Amino acid sequence: MEESVMLLTILLLLPVILSCLSWRNQMKRPHNGPKLPPGSMGWPFFGETLKLYSQNPSIFFGTRHQRYGDIFKTNIHGSPCVMLTCPEAARFVLVTEAHRFKPSYPQSKERLIGPWAIFFHGGEFHTRMRKLVQGSLSLDAVRTMVPLIEAVAVNTLESCCSGGGLAVNTFHEMKKFTFEVAVLSIFGKLESGYKDKLKDNFFTLDRGYNCFPINLPGTAYRRALLARRRLGKILREIVSEKREKRLTEKNLLSSLLNYHDHQDGQILTDDQIADNIIGVLFAAQDTTASALTWVIKYIHDYPLLRDAIREEQKTIYESNDGGNRPLTWAQTRNMPYTYKVVMESLRMASIISYTYREAVEDVIYNGVLIPKGWKVLPLFRIIHHNPNFFIDPEKFNPSRFEVAQKPNTFVPFGNGVHSCPGNEVAKLEILVFIHHLVNKFRWEVVGPKNGVEYDPFPVPKKGLPAKFLKDS
Ligand code: HEM
């Protein structure tokens, strides 16, 4: 009995002991040669993870930036990390020396999305997938989507009003909108039976993505894993149906289905196709919904800005015979003031606050050592709020976008080989939505005016509860 208690104690303590040893090793770097960046590694095993979760991430990173400078070390999620807060260092990792850093995501997340998804890969497989994804989201492909996006935007707004003035959670409503648009860019028109099944399961997966990843009955993570399995099955059905039909349409699914390697003729497997579809859905939905929710909040909070946007959008609306003719692509490319508001919202909210890479070898940057295996996090949010690049950075000021920004200081869609291939769709859907919102609807925020939640992207507190009403 005593022996088994001892064994159990050793087993329970083993991860802590191992992590203390690895923590000691991290601290024991040779004295000569390049030095690790300044910073604190926190406690053995926990690092600074608890501190990160107990405060607003902007404050966590901001205070360390002030204390240690542009490059500092920490330990979060069980990994030693180097944080980068200057544009040059972010460019070094994401663009010029990108081959020395690989994408790095926790395994629990990879299991939910699927290991073949584009953003988990580098090298040749990434280049191949990137061509397919980028091609299906290119300007030529996106311009054909204007009338489809318009119809979804109007439907979403009508549904926000359907409660007869009852408040809705704006972020949740925007997620429904961005899901529909993502489905359009992936599948073109998709049968509503398939779409509903995809939606139910995808939303369950999304809810489990940021939960603690324990696979036990009743946990959100387990529900998400089960939903992922069902999503795989639905996608395999769609794929086999479409394979038979030999598609000629221009969308992501048909690009993935029609792909074959020029040298060995290999095609993509059903799993590779499914993981990439779920990956793109995932990359597209919450990011754009969060951005749109912030745009709606800022337009609401600044009446002068709202008037200027209304004026710009009214002119377009009237030139379309009071909205009787559809918006054109050219019109969506000529909304200069609204566009600046969207850019400033992306800067202020910095939806993707940071991204992760991992050093594949020891790397020296400006005399500082980034050891092999350490995570590297370019902190976009800190760059976007640095007064050296954006004067009075906490002030919402769209006019700062009247002039070009300093290179690499405005990177809401990332930079380099993994930068966002969906940025044109994202901007288009936001502009089309705002066009209809300000021309035909009114809205009033009824919940907390300030505060941010992380879901995992920053969202106004409680998802920005608001009442939407249609102008008669
Ligand atoms: C406002 C909305 C959006 C924001 C702020 C955003 C931001 C980003 C950022 C910063 C990255 C780079 C991440 C990294 O370097 O690790 C990224 C990658 C990606 N985004 Fe977006 N995104 C948005 C919307 C979309 C949309 C609408 C789609 C698809 C329709 C999309 C698809 C992707 C994909 C597939 C990747 C991975 C690319 C790769 O690994 O090569 N995103 N996004």
429, 177 contact by CB (below 8 A): yes
Distance 310 CA to ligand 1 centre (A): 29
107 contacts: CB under 8 Å, gap ≥ 6: none
Is residue 137 lining ligand 1, measured as CB closer than 6 Å? yes
Separation CA 300–CA 294 (nearest Å): 10
Q: Which helix (DSSP H) or strand (DSSP E) does residue 441 occupy?
A: strand 441-445
By C-alpha distance, which of 138, 187, 186 is closest to 428?
138
List of the chain residues with pLDDT < 50: 1, 5-18, 20-21
pLDDT, residue 405, reads: 95
For the residues of 59-128, what is the DSSP string, one character each? HHHHHHHHHH-SEEEEEETTEEEEEE-SHHHHHIIIIITGGGEEE---HHHHHHH-TT-GGG--HHHHHH
Q: Indicate the Cα dihedral angle 214, 218, 222, 224, nearest 10°.
A: -120
Q: Which helix (DSSP H) or strand (DSSP E) does residue 171 occupy?
A: helix 170-187
pLDDT, residue 262, reads: 83
pLDDT, residue 224, reads: 97
Going from the C-alpha of 453 to that of each of 294, 351, 401, 457, the distances in angstroms are 12, 12, 27, 8
Given ligand 1 and candidates 142, 171, 345, 413, which is best to mutate, with the most ligand atoms within 8 Å of its CB?
Answer: 413
Measure the N-to-C terminal CA separation of the chain; round to a whole number of Å: 78
Please state at what angle helix 270-301 crosses helix 170-187, rounded to 10 degrees: 140
> Both tokens of residue 449?
């005016």
412 contacts: CB under 8 Å, gap ≥ 6: 343, 346, 347, 350, 351, 352, 380, 384
Helices (H) and strands (E) in the chain, counts: 18, 12
- 54 C-beta neighbours (distance < 10 Å), count: 8
Complete edge-to-edge strand list for the sheet that includes strand 441-445: 168-169, 465-470, 441-445
Residue with the nearest Cα to atom 43 of ligand 1?
A: 420
Q: What is the pLDDT of residues 17-45, one digit of tens each?
A: 445 445 555 555 555 678 999 999 988 87
Separation CA 227–CA 328 (nearest Å): 38
pLDDT, residue 10, reads: 45
Residue with tokens 């590779």, as numbered in its chain: 272
Q: Could you tell me the pTM of the whole model? A: 0.92
pLDDT, residue 449, reads: 84
Is residue 113 lining ligand 1, measured as CB closer than 6 Å? no
pLDDT, residue 132, reads: 96
By C-alpha distance, which of 213, 464, 177 is closest to 349?
464
pLDDT, residue 47, reads: 86
pLDDT, residue 169, reads: 97
Distance 421 CA to ligand 1 centre (A): 6
Residue with the nearest Cα to atom 30 of ligand 1?
A: 422
Residue with tokens 């005399």, as numbered in its chain: 367
Atom of ligand 1 nearest to the CA of 178: 27
pLDDT, residue 30, reads: 52
- 112 C-beta neighbours (distance < 10 Å), count: 22
280, 415 contact by CB (below 8 A): no
Distance 420 CA to ligand 1 centre (A): 4
pLDDT, residue 8, reads: 46
pLDDT, residue 454, reads: 85
